Structure formats: C-alpha cells, structure tokens
Amino acid sequence: MNINSFTKALRWMRRHKKLVIFVITMILIAILSSCLMGAQASGATMAVGMLIAGVEDGKHVVDGPLTTDLTREGSPDLLLNEIDQQIVKIRPMSTPIDQISRYGGSKHAGSMVVDYYSVDTKATKAKLTADVAESSPSAGDDAPMVVISTSNNDIFDPTDTILVQNTSGYEADGETESDQDLMLYVVNRDANGVTVMAVNGLTINGVKGCFPEITSGSTLVRMGRAASELDVQSPQFESLPKKSRNLCQIFKMQVEQSTLQRLSNKEVGWTMSDQEEAAVYDMRLGMEKSYLFGVARQMWDANKKEYVYFTGGIWNQAGKEFYLEAMTELTEAKMVDLMRDAFTGNTGSKRKILIGGSGLISKISKLDYTRVITAGQHVSKWGIDFTELRSKFGCLYVLLSEVFDEVGMTNDGIVIDPEYIQKYTHIPFSTEQLNLKKSGVRNVDALVMTEASCLVLRYPKAHMRITSR
C-alpha cells in the first residue's frame, strides 16, 4: 500500500468514523463472547461432580457442586416429590375411605400377609328356653332356687344378676306388683342349667323370694355381679382375641411423557406434574374400590411365574348389617332404627361415618328432620366436608360415595367407626423415576408410583353395612 492509498483510507475513516467504531465494537464483542464460552465449557467440564463412598457406606461429592441429579443418585429418598406431600389433597371427596385411612396413620407391616387380632365383648342377652312355673312352697321353707335353661347358659356365672324383661317383679311386701322387671341372682351354673333365686319375687305362705310364672322366650339380660361381704374372689373372666387375616395389595401407576412431548409448545400449561396428579387420582379411585369391595386372595400368575396378592375390602369385614327396602322411601322411624343399630350393641364411639350411594343419600336428604333427628352444619374432618346428622344415639357424618354407584350398589352404604379402622402398609406410597432412556427402552420421562397396603376393621361390631332388598 502506497502513501496515497493510506491517506485516502484515513480520510474515508474520518468521514465515516461512526461506522468504523461500530464495526470495531462488534468485532471485539464477538471475540470476547467466544472467549467466555470457551472458558465456561472448560469450567463446566471441570465442575462435573462425582460420588464416592465414605467409610460407613455414605456418599460424598467431589470435583464439583452438589446437584439434584447427584442427590437423587446418592440418596434417592432425600428429595421428596411434591406429589408425596400433596397426595391427601387430590380430590379427597371422591375417595373418603382412602383419605381417612391416610389421615389416621398406618402401621408398618413386615409382610404382605397381615394377621391382626380383635377383641369382642361377652354377650349380655339370652332367651329362656323353658317355662318357669310359679313357686308353691310350704310354710317355713327357704327361698326357692330354680334351675333355668337358656339359649346361652355359658354367659352367666355365679353372683351375676339377671333382668327378666317384660316380667314384673314385686315390692318388698311380696304382694304388690312392681313397675320394675323381675331380677334374678345366679347361685350356680352346671351341666343341668343355671340355678337362680328371685331377688324381688313373690311372698307365698310367708316364704319370700318366690318365682312368678315366667314364659319361655323371655329375654334375660346379664347385669352386674353382686358379691357378699366375705367374698374375696369372684368367678374368673378372661377374653381371647380373635385372629383375622388380610393381604396387602401392591398398587402401581406409571406415567410417561416423551421428550418431544415435553419440549413441544402447548396451548395450555399441561406438564408432567399435571399428569402425575391425574394418575394419583385414578390410582386412589382404584384403591378405594379395592379397600371397600376387594376379595382377599393369593393367585399364581403363570405368565409372571409369581404370586399376586389381592386385598380384602372392609365391606365384608363389618360385623353388623341393616336392611332397607330398595323401592320404598326412608321414614323417620326407619332412620331412628338405623342409627340405633349403628350406635348400640357395641362399645364404639358416638361419632361415626356413613358413606353411601346416591340412592341412599337421596333418601336421607328427603327426610323431614325433627327434634328426634336433626341435620347439623357441615363438618370438615380428614380434609372432607361431611353433613352431620344428630340423634339421641349418636352423630353420623354423611357423605356421598360414587364408588357405590359404579359397582351397582346405589341404595347401599356403610357406617364406619373411624376409631377402629386401621391401615397396614408394607410399602409406603413412593414415587420413583425410571431412566428408560439409558436402558434403551423408550425416549421418555417415566415416573412409577407404588404402595402396598390393606385396611382392617379392628372391632367389626362397631361397623355396619346398609343393604337394600
């Protein structure tokens, strides 16, 4: 380049100095960006951490920062998926049994087979199986003793007292009929029957404690024991728990999403988390049906070459049953009988849950409530909104369960005592990321949810089926 050309170039640069400055600036930016990207790439390569084992089989990160990927690799259960903590918030009204069992807490089961024990109460009533004739003592005789035969002699022990329903006793004079029922005192029990004395019986020929006529079929109610002053001991009372068995069922649900599906733009925000929520709801809905109506069985799968366990539902575990006419309306009197059966004859709590199909709930909703049965306010418990029904017998929390409709039991339901329902869990609810890409199966993001559990009713008589005929 000669002097003239160089001079012309300088003059041109002076006239277009703004353009020259812009070009030089862009060149410098490009060079600087290239340098930074190279440094970052180099640094990223150096910053990739790795896991090494500790002296007690622990995991340690070296040559890089702690990342979520390394955390999941070294301690899979440390980072909880949001779905674990929010499971009870996913449509709880549709799965009340599963919801209540989760809030009530579960016991760990060391096996897929769960053996549990429940203690029943000793029977308190029996029927007289033979007539008792009126006593005919002679003057000066001792108070008569009579051997009676009942439908269940074994429930009576010496020193027990027995109330004979609908058979009048007598006042202290032995002649005036009393408003109170006749009461008996058990002296002995042997193979011949139960030997008793009349506490408030007749006075005949000056002999007190004589028996009036008692007809066969009379109801005998076992009451408290009456010991004498010098009694130190009493007939023994022992109770053995009844063994029952249920099987844990492995419930699973898998969600997959291809990589292209995840990267694609969508008209609405539909992510993997949304799919997880929908999957959890479907999983819980299936568990709800199994918890209610499942059949406890163990079956050999010839294709898998292993046993499959099926859990038993609580519907058949309930110890009581109440019948309703399917084609007739529910009356107040029938509802009183229902609540009486639900709350009496057991030592359960006075607050229970009634879950039923739409037909049963419709009948209950059509009742004209009075001072005998009142409809209270809505009650929120276990994350569920119930309608409260109150009576002299107890309080029912009423809720519609469409599961009954789905299985064709629209007019049926079940009364559950929440104090006596227990969940056993062999595998707690968990989520696991499946790396199907590395294994060469599919180019997808996969998540599998698992739980192995079952429900049992600890005290069957505290729960009642409501069935239509």
* DSSP string over 129-172: -S-BPPP-PPTTPPPP-EEE-BTTGGG--TTEEEEEEEEEEE-T
In angstroms, what CA-CA distances link 153 with 183, 185, 240, 352? 17, 14, 19, 33
Distance CA 323, CA 468 (A): 6
Of the candidate ranges 62-71, 214-223, 318-327, 391-400, the one whose mean pLDDT is the lowest:
62-71
pLDDT for res 241: 67
* DSSP string over 336-349: HHHHHHHHSSS---
| All residues at 6 or more sequence positions from 48 whose CB lies less than 8 Å from its CB, including other chains | 63, 64
463 token code pair = 């729960």
- Classify the C-alpha dihedral 276-277-278-279 as positive or negative: positive
Would you kindly state where each structural domain of the chain is located, as residue ranges?
1-34, 85-119+241-469, 125-225
Check whether 124 has a pLDDT greater than 70.
yes
pLDDT for res 259: 62
pLDDT digits (tens, 9 = 90+) for 38-59: 544 444 444 456 656 654 455 6
| All residues at 6 or more sequence positions from 296 whose CB lies less than 8 Å from its CB, including other chains | 245, 246, 247, 310, 311, 312
- Residue 450 CB neighbour total at 10 angstroms: 16
What does the mean pLDDT of the chain come to?
Answer: 80
Of the candidate ranges 2-6, 59-63, 69-73, 371-375, the one whose mean pLDDT is the lowest:
59-63
Phi, psi (5° rounding) for residue 311? -85, 150
Task: Name the nearest CA neighbour of 246 among 297, 293, 188, 201.
Answer: 297
pLDDT for res 118: 66
pLDDT band at 268 (very low <50, low <70, confident <90, very high): low
pLDDT digits (tens, 9 = 90+) for 193-214: 999 999 999 999 888 899 999 9
| All residues at 6 or more sequence positions from 205 whose CB lies less than 8 Å from its CB, including other chains | 137, 138, 139, 141
pTM for the complete prediction?
0.59
pLDDT digits (tens, 9 = 90+) for 279-309: 888 888 888 999 999 999 999 988 888 899 9
Please tell me the CATH code under which domain 85-119+241-469 is placed: 3.30.2400.10
- Residue 163 CB neighbour total at 10 angstroms: 18
Distance CA 363, CA 197 (A): 50
Q: Are strands 374-381 and 242-247 parallel, antiparallel or unpaired?
A: unpaired
Section 227-251 average pLDDT: 73
pLDDT for res 210: 93
